[in-house]
């Protein structure tokens, strides 16, 4: 009998398992569907897109939708120890103060910015520059570092932004988010440092923590309305694991999928698949939100981009010194901007990549180029997901409803226009070649809108499908307990009522920290 079973070794699950097992009297089982994280490309920052469509990726696709040219969108998600923190771009951006205050104002006591800031600080081992000590911690396990070898194109982006009036700031996680900055990254000595590296691996030496990989959870078991454990498949066998409490950390896709397979979700949808209903919770799988990106891509007239990062000389420089272009996280700089007056926080993030990054890197032309992504931070569009079948190995039906709200498209069009002004600035003159995407011939809003509908892509931040709150569509309460059930919680990005205006890894780590505190307090 385990005290706690944690399902999913991603950003939140690694933190939760590590923190709970600090108490030697608590017996913890961590189950991960993916493999171990020993592959070399996981450690090399610039190689992250090589992990897409690999055995370390769930390789999800959305359904075709009319608002986005009826083209399925690829959603990479980590199927590996460390979860998506083992194949993301390592950008450490928490979001805006108001993001968390909105959660608190929606009835989630203890989740405002001032409440969660100490948890961000506790997790951090900040070793970068330009930060305000009031907003960062230096003694935590998760390194937050400066980039080792920023590209010359990235410096041009920063200076070009300043020429347009953007304020250069040292820290987008400090007192203000508005401005332009080099990104801080989750790296140590130029190498990726995932949630598994930071939290889980040191904890795996403990006798009271068991980690089992390649184990696909089939469902939560119940006695009445109390969770009693899980069943999972490993090496062709079904294993039952009992526990006093189960915490789903399987992510925005996995956690609602497991709930529905267990009979927890919208009763009509479950009954249609022949699944016995344990708890009719209509919000499971609803409230799906994601950051979607447009932007522009350009040829580069000088051979300075990341196109030659994989040369033998650069590989040697990386392996020996932990420096050079292979340490690049690709998205080396960001700018947070507001496209209209009256906004509480920036609504767009511009991400600069000193490389072509077209269709997640799969459609890059040969040669040197650079990309400026325009990312919609606070979409009005809402989507949903549901089971495709009763098979736990079958990917669910994912409908993000991208651009179903016209305001979302308008913001992205404004973003493309801002990117064009920025790249037209003098600092880019030595590098600027032809505009590859959208193409300089596309000028009016209608043409740009059609391009965005066709080419927009996920920035890999789906959230919200097990919403925290007190309203009828909430799935968990402010202590992350699944409503109407006992012994079952969800602790990952799926609990976010609204998406944060940042990158979700940092917030997921915080959620793992907070869940650990809550579980420890509730079991004393």
Residues annotated as catalytic are 461
Pairing of strands 264-265, 279-280: parallel
SS3 247: strand
SS3 251: helix
* Contact criterion met (CB below 8 Å) for 290 and 271: no
> In which element (H, E) is residue 337 found?
strand 331-337
Q: What letter would DSSP give residue 434?
A: E
* Contact criterion met (CB below 8 Å) for 38 and 201: no
Q: Would the CA dihedral through 467, 471, 473, 474 be positive or negative?
A: positive
SS3 383: strand
Rounded Cα distance between 464 and 291, Å, is: 12
Spell out the long-range contacts of 175-178 with Cβ–Cβ below 8 A and sequence spacing 24 or more: 175/132, 175/134, 175/135, 177/95, 177/96, 177/336, 177/345, 177/346, 177/501, 178/336, 178/337, 178/338, 178/346
- Closest by CA to 112, choosing from 471, 478, 477, 376, is 478
> In the numeric block, which tokens belong to residue 392?
């736990």
Rounded Cα distance between 200 and 26, Å, is: 16
* Torsional class of 460: left (φ above 0), alpha (ψ -120 to 50), beta (otherwise): left
**253 exposure class (CB count in 10 Å sphere: 0-12, 13-18, 19+):** buried
Q: What are phi and psi of 57, to 5 degrees?
A: -130, 135
SS3 322: coil
- Closest by CA to 213, choosing from 77, 58, 32, 10, is 32
SS3 418: helix
- Closest by CA to 243, choosing from 513, 487, 489, 501, is 487
> In the numeric block, which tokens belong to residue 69?
């040219």
Cβ-Cβ contacts under 8 Å for 441 (sequence gap 6 or more)? none
């Amino acid at each position: 009998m385990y005290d706690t079973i944690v399902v999913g070794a991603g950003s939140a699950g690694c933190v939760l398992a590590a923190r709970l097992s600090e108490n030697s009297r608590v017996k913890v089982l961590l189950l991960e569907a993916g493999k171990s994280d020993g592959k070399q490309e996981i450690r090399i920052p610039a190689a992250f897109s090589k992990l897409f469509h690999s055995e370390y990726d769930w390789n999800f696709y959305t359904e075709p939708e009319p608002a986005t040219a009826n083209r399925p969108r690829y959603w990479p998600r980590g199927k590996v120890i460390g979860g998506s923190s083992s194949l993301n771009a390592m950008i450490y951006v928490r979001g805006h103060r108001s993001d968390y205050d909105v959660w608190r104002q929606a009835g989630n006591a203890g989740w405002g910015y001032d409440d969660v800031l100490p948890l961000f600080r506790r997790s951090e081992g900040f070793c970068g520059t330009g930060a305000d000590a009031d907003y960062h911690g230096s003694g935590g396990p998760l390194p937050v570092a400066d980039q080792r070898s920023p590209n010359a194109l990235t410096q041009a982006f920063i200076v070009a932004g300043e020429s347009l009036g953007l304020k250069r700031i040292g820290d987008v996680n400090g007192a203000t988010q508005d401005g332009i900055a080099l990104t801080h990254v989750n790296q140590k000595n130029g190498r990726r440092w995932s949630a598994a590296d930071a939290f889980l691996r040191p904890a795996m030496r403990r006798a009271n923590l068991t980690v089992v990989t390649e184990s696909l959870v089939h469902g939560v078991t119940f006695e009445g309305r109390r969770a009693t454990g899980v069943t999972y498949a490993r090496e062709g066998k079904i294993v039952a694991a009992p526990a006093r409490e189960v915490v789903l950390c399987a992510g925005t896709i996995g956690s609602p999928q497991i709930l529905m397979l267990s009979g927890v979700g919208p009763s009509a949808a479950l009954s249609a698949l022949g699944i016995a209903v344990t708890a009719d919770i209509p919000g499971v799988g609803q409230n799906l939100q994601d950051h979607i990106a447009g932007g522009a891509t350009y040829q580069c007239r000088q051979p300075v981009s990341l196109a030659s990062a994989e040369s033998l000389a650069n590989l040697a420089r990386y392996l020996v010194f932990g420096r050079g272009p292979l340490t690049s996280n690709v998205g080396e700089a960001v700018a947070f901007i507001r496209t209209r007056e009256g906004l509480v926080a920036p609504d767009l993030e511009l991400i600069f990549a000193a490389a072509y990054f077209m269709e997640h890197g799969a459609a890059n032309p040969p040669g040197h180029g650079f990309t400026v992504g325009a990312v919609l931070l606070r979409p009005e569009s809402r989507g949903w997901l549901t089971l495709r079948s009763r098979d736990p190995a079958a990917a669910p039906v994912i409908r993000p409803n991208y651009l179903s709200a016209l305001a979302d498209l308008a913001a992205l069009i404004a973003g493309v226009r801002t990117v064009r002004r920025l790249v037209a600035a003098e600092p880019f003159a030595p590098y600027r070649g032809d505009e590859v995407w959208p193409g300089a011939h596309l000028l009016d809003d209608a043409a740009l809108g059609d391009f965005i509908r066709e080419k927009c892509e996920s920035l890999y931040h789906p959230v919200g499908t097990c919403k925290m709150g007190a309203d009828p569509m909430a799935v968990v309460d402010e202590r992350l307990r699944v409503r109407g059930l006992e012994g079952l919680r969800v602790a990952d990005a799926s609990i976010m009522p609204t998406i944060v205006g940042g990158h979700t890894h940092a917030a997921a780590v915080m959620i793992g920290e907070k869940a650990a505190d809550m579980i420890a307090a509730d079991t004393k």
